[in-house]
A and B are shown apart, each in its own frame.
Chain A
Amino acid sequence: GENVEQHPSTLSVQEGDSAVIKCTYSDSASNYFPWYKQELGKRPQLIIDIRSNVGEKKDQRIAVTLNKTAKHFSLHITETQPEDSAVYFCAASRATGGFKTIFGAGTRLFVKA
């Protein structure tokens, strides 16, 4: 069946450093790749997404890259801050409504002040 692999499971960085989380997916039909951030005790929230017709998307300190040939996509956070500490989930789906979303297992990011 479809699956999404996410690495690393835990990531600790110093404030100001960059953090990179990588995911691979199995379903070739996937064309929508959202990233969710879940802070402790809160709901997952969409922070950025990318569709398969682009290779990179940036929003301030966060960026996502997609390699559709290799079925890889990554989240990059620059100039990390303590408030970036959270669990991050990658996911793969299809862009139109009506198709299930497959999530990775999550990466717990610690940003040390």
Chain B
Amino acid sequence: EAGVTQFPSHSVIEKGQTVTLRCDPISGHDNLYWYRRVMGKEIKFLLHFVKESKQDESGMPNNRFLAERTGGTYSTLKVQPAELEDSGVYFCASSQADTNEQFFGPGTRLTVL
């Protein structure tokens, strides 16, 4: 069974540009989570989808971040316009409907110059 996949693995952009990250959860997992880790700090919760609905987006830093999960399958996280402090590793995780055992993707390392 394929695990959680994320694309791209790395992205280097300039301040003010736009970047879109993609996450494909494990097939059949209703729950999809986005996290961000800034070097040396915690894995910080950003938001949580249940199928196509946003269950909790309390961790989203500001309105420059937009997450979608149309159709309840893959999800995208768009940052527009990117700022220097957005740099970090963005992880996606998924879990089945009745459990919080989360499986993580490999992450996307975003560098904003």
Stretch at the interface among A12-20, A55-63, A97-105: A97-105
* CB atoms of A43 and B55 under 8 A apart: no
- Complex Cα distance, B4 from A43, in Å, reads 10
Note all chain B residues with C-beta closer than 8 A to A100.
33, 45, 48, 56, 58-59
- Complex Cα distance, B101 from A94, in Å, reads 10
* CB atoms of B104 and A97 under 8 A apart: no
Contact of B91 with A by CB under 8 A: yes
* CB atoms of A4 and B42 under 8 A apart: yes
Note all chain A residues with C-beta closer than 8 A to B33.
100-101
Stretch at the interface among B62-70, B76-84, B92-100: B92-100
Q: How many residues of B contact A (CB 8 A)?
A: 32
- Complex Cα distance, B97 from A96, in Å, reads 8
Contact of B31 with A by CB under 8 A: yes
- Complex Cα distance, B100 from A32, in Å, reads 8
Residue of B with least CB distance to A103: B43
Least CB distance from A5 to B in Å reads 10
Q: Which A residues from 55 to 89 make CB contacts under 8 A with B?
A: 89
Sample 14 A-B pairs with CB under 8 A, ordered by A number.
A36-B104, A43-B105, A46-B102, A95-B99, A97-B30, A97-B96, A97-B100, A98-B31, A98-B48, A99-B56, A100-B45, A100-B48, A101-B33, A102-B45
